[in-house]
């Protein structure tokens, strides 16, 4: 196991015991789990049978259905195309798929805020058949808009199927080819694919009142629904994907774009506010932390991947049983690893000096009597009110032109900062070197 020498034996034993308890208590034919820390898989376990009839044990390299984890890659593909200037997520779907009968914006589709019905309109789970891309679009007028667009979070596999069509139209490639060429291969996710290998796990449903299982056909073609949940993969590849979401490779997807995807778009749990959704990413609260990733469920399979970006620690879990919630177990793997084996923060170091035109802005200012500090760190301009709580990150600003900076994150995201000499305006408010009433 990669990184085993750096993993405390006591913690390894505890996680392995907990995985065994989870597999036994929830009566799972098999359970495969792994933890990634700072880009390295440091713990993994595989328990049970990938194929009960053949008495074939599972391994950490066994492929399982990933279900809706596929959506994280679909969203990443859309954002790649956005960053390349080939689409605008604020535009309606009909800008790129002209004949579509519904016109939510791309952002609404990414964030499950489109108001479209949950499943595709041909009722695939009723009739056991998934529409092709062409048929999906031709019959889209049969799909319902069950809520006003933008009104609230409503999970929609139909919405993500349409995003797959969008990727095809804008890129000029088949959806699966684009994902393979632009994400799977560059990230070396060699055990993730749209077609399972011969040794992939077989899916089951466990009978409630007997130690038996039901089996079914779990390898059916997904058609246009592929973009919503057709991938197969391993825990190792999921951990690699989690590490990427925490620390992206700029050549594949910009770090600022991934941070944008992690930003809350809508609350999914409007009772406890325990989880929400970004742009293709689930945001799961675990105490003071928000873990990002996604779950996946298809007949006979449950999958999950979560990561704490600030801690650079994540976990993945796969099972070949439908109907079980694995999120508490997945979160506990991350929580325990952070507690017992945190990633050391990089040491403080000297930075390059700030640009000459920004140096006069640095230091303490006031918005009326509220203290505001501008500082230069990691080649970025930051603004932070000294009264802000410790957990609140600073506002980061990006240079636009002479004397103009735009907030790209933080509480003032989107607002403009202008300064000329001693005159500073931030978000429409005058900013002064000493406390002052506004005239």
The per-residue pLDDT for 5 is: 47
Please, what are the averages of pLDDT over each run of 10 residues along the chain (439 residues)? 64 96 96 97 97 97 97 98 98 98 98 97 87 95 97 97 98 98 98 96 91 76 90 98 97 96 95 95 95 96 97 97 91 96 89 90 96 94 95 93 93 93 91 91
Q: Confirm if 232 and 128 have CB atoms less than 8 A apart.
A: no
Q: Is the pTM of this model over 0.85?
A: yes
The residues near 18 (Cβ < 8 Å, ≥ 6 apart) are: 329, 332, 333
pLDDT digits (tens, 9 = 90+) for 19-34: 999 999 999 999 999 9
The distance of Cα 92 from the centroid of its chain, to the nearest Å, equals 22
The second-level CATH assignment, the architecture, of 1-345 is 3-Layer(aba) Sandwich (3.40)
Question: Token match 């399982």: residue?
Answer: 64
pLDDT digits (tens, 9 = 90+) for 385-434: 999 999 899 999 999 999 999 999 999 999 999 998 788 999 999 999 99
The per-residue pLDDT for 217 is: 67
Report residue 418: phi and psi, to 5°.
-125, 145
The per-residue pLDDT for 219 is: 58
The per-residue pLDDT for 20 is: 97
Q: Confirm if 279 and 304 have CB atoms less than 8 A apart.
A: no
For residue 83, give the H/E element and its range. helix 70-83
The per-residue pLDDT for 6 is: 60
* Torsion angle in degrees (nearest 10) through CA of 286, 331, 246, 90: -60
């Amino acid at each position: 196991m990669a990184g085993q020498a750096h993993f405390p034996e006591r913690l390894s034993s505890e996680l392995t015991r907990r995985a065994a308890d989870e597999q036994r208590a929830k009566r799972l034919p098999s359970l495969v789990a792994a933890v990634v820390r700072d880009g390295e898989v440091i713990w993994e376990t595989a328990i049970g049978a990938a194929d009960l009839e053949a008495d074939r044990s599972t391994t950490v390299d066994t492929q399982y259905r990933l279900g809706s984890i596929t959506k994280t890659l679909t969203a990443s593909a859309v954002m790649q195309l956005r960053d390349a200037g080939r689409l605008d997520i604020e535009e309606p779907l009909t800008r790129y798929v002209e004949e579509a009968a519904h016109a939510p914006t791309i952002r609404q589709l990414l964030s499950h805020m489109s108001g479209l019905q949950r499943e595709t309109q041909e009722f695939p789970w009723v009739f056991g058949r998934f529409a092709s891309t062409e048929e999906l679009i031709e019959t889209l007028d049969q799909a319902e808009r069950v809520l006003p667009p933008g009104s609230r979070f409503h999970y929609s596999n139909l919405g993500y199927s349409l995003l797959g069509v969008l990727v095809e139209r804008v890129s000029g490639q088949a959806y699966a080819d684009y994902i393979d060429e632009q994400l799977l291969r560059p990230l070396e996710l060699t055990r993730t694919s749209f077609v399972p290998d011969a040794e992939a796990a077989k899916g089951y449903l466990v009978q409630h009142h007997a130690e038996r299982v039901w089996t079914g056909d779990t390898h059916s073609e997904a058609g246009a629904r592929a973009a919503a949940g057709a991938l197969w993969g391993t825990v190792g590849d999921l951990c690699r994907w989690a590490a990427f979401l925490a620390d992206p490779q700029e050549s594949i997807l910009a770090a600022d774009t991934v941070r944008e995807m992690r930003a809350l778009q809508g609350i999914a749990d409007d009772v406890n506010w325990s989880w929400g959704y970004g742009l293709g990413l689930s945001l799961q609260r675990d105490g003071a932390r928000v873990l990002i990733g996604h779950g996946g469920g298809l007949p006979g399979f449950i999958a999950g991947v979560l990561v704490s970006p600030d801690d650079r620690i994540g976990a993945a879990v796969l099972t070949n049983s439908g109907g079980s919630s694995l999120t508490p177990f997945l979160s506990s793997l991350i929580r325990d690893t952070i507690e017992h084996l945190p990633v050391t923060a990089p040491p403080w170091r000297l930075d390059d000096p700030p640009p000459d035109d920004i140096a006069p802005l640095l230091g303490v200012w006031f918005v009326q009597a509220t203290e505001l500090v501008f500082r230069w760190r990691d080649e970025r301009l930051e603004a932070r009110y000294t009264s802000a709580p410790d957990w609140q990150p600073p506002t980061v600003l990006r240079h636009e032109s002479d004397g103009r900076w735009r907030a790209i994150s933080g509480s003032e995201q989107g607002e403009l900062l202008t300064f000329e000499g001693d005159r500073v305006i931030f978000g429409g408010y005058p900013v002064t070197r000493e406390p002052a009433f506004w005239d």
